[in-house]
Amino acid sequence: MKTQELSHISDDGKSIHVYRWSPDGTQGGKIRASVLLAHGMAEHAVRYTRFAKALCDKGYELWAPDHRGHGKTAAEGELGWLAPADGFKRVVNDLYSLSKRIKEEAPGLPLFLFGHSWGSFLSQGYMSLYGQGINGCILSGTAGNGGATLKLGRLVAGIGCAIKGQHSPAPLMDTMSFGSFNNAFKPNRTKFDWLSRDEAEVDAYIKDPLCGFICSYGFFRDLLSGLSWIHDKETMSFIPKDLPIFMIAGSKDPVGAATSSFDRLYDQYRMEGIKDLNKKLYSDGRHEVLNDTCREEATTDIIAWLDARI
């Protein structure tokens, strides 16, 4: 596997740090398709190196940016903050800008989008704006409409931005969003037990200074605004009906599957008339199926799904 780190200048001039993993000569060097990956909140793209290796072994290349406010893209003081305004759509547009570069460097190849957690929400928005330009989308650890809880969160985030400032860490918002996620896994060894059954993976996440940080009030303002937008019926109606979508999650994922929000989103897509729609829940799996004990099964399923759509 060949690894490159590069800078991509987005459409507003922001420099986005990007990892590109591609098959090397020992694997034939021929690329069958490109995959663009959108990582989750409070993590970064290099965590997907193992997944990249599995894809490259089967002839796929993986492009994975560190989103604004994350990883090597975040400048000093920017960790957990996206943009002065409308940060959610800004990150969606970063992904689209990068997709154009991918197509320039790999003309004629199919392009798929993979989004995990927050990245899956970004991908939901991407499909509504730019879905005609990709060959399929995989949503990992995703969820549907948050309802009344979303409205309360937007109110708190707005007050926090006004009083504390949008760059200020938002521990209250963090508790409101994730505080209950560990409840189903008591007695808890760590506060991130909900991520994976693999203790080594959880420990690696905790030790990583670019993971698990508390995001800003501005981030939560943009996140919750974005969630309202992507789950609006008009927004969802713009997703191309012939765009293949594959939804995956651990059956005990507190973000969506354990609350039935995952299934409600699937039903919404079905009602919208998506023709090629599939889902799979991994028994007893938690939030990060690619870092859980079911990771080999999940990776095999993803590759089989891609193979069938090239």
pLDDT in tens, 198-225: 999 999 999 999 999 999 999 999 999 9
CB 276 within 8 A of CB 266: no
pLDDT of amino acid 201: 98
Distance (Å) of CA 120 to CA 5, 29, 84, 292? 23, 29, 22, 18
Alpha-carbon gap, residue 205 to 243, rounded angstroms: 33
pLDDT over 90 at 179, yes or no: no
Quickly count: other Cβ atoms within 10 Å of residue 21's Cβ: 24
**249 residue type, one letter:** A
User: Which residue's entry shows tokens 């793209």?
Assistant: 45
Read off the pLDDT of each residue in 53-78 and give the average, rounded to a whole number: 97
Protein fold of 2-146+230-307: Rossmann fold (3.40.50)
% the chain with pLDDT above 70? 98
Instruction: Identify the residue whose tokens are 């599957």.
Output: 257
CA distance 64 to 25: 21
Predicted confidence band of residue 176 (pLDDT cuts 50, 70, 90): confident
Minimum mean pLDDT among 8-22, 70-84, 171-185, 212-226: which range?
A: 171-185
pLDDT digit string (tens) for 239-270?
Answer: 999 999 999 999 999 999 999 999 999 999 99
Distance from C-alpha of 35 to C-alpha of 64, rounded to nearest angstrom: 8
217 backbone dihedrals φ, ψ, rounded to 5°: -60, -35
**Alpha helices by DSSP H, the chain:** 49-57, 87-105, 118-130, 148-163, 171-178, 199-207, 217-230, 233-237, 261-271, 295-307
> Which of 179, 121, 127 is closest to 146 using CA atoms?
121
For residue 157, give both structure tokens: 């985030």
Q: pLDDT-based confidence at 238, cuts 50/70/90?
A: very high
Average pLDDT of the segment spanning 36-63: 98
What's the confidence (pLDDT) of residue 29? 57
The whole-number average pLDDT for the span 105-112 is 94
What is the radius of gyration, based on Cα positions, of the chain?
18
* Mean of pLDDT values over 279-287: 98
Which SS3 state, helix, strand or coil, does residue 63 take?
A: strand
Three-class SS state of 224: helix
Q: How is 79-136 classified by DSSP, letter by letter?
A: TT---SS-HHHHHHHHHHHHHHHHHHHSTT--EEEEEETHHHHHHHHHHHHHGGGSSE
Average pLDDT, the chain: 96
Structure confidence at residue 164 (pLDDT) = 96
In the predicted model, is pLDDT for residue 151 greater than 90?
no
Checking if the pLDDT of 196 tops 80, the result is: yes
Q: Using a pLDDT cut of 90, give the percent of the chain over it.
A: 93
86 near 219, Cβ under 8 Å? no
pTM for the full model? 0.97
- Band of residue 146 on the pLDDT scale cut at 50, 70, 90: confident
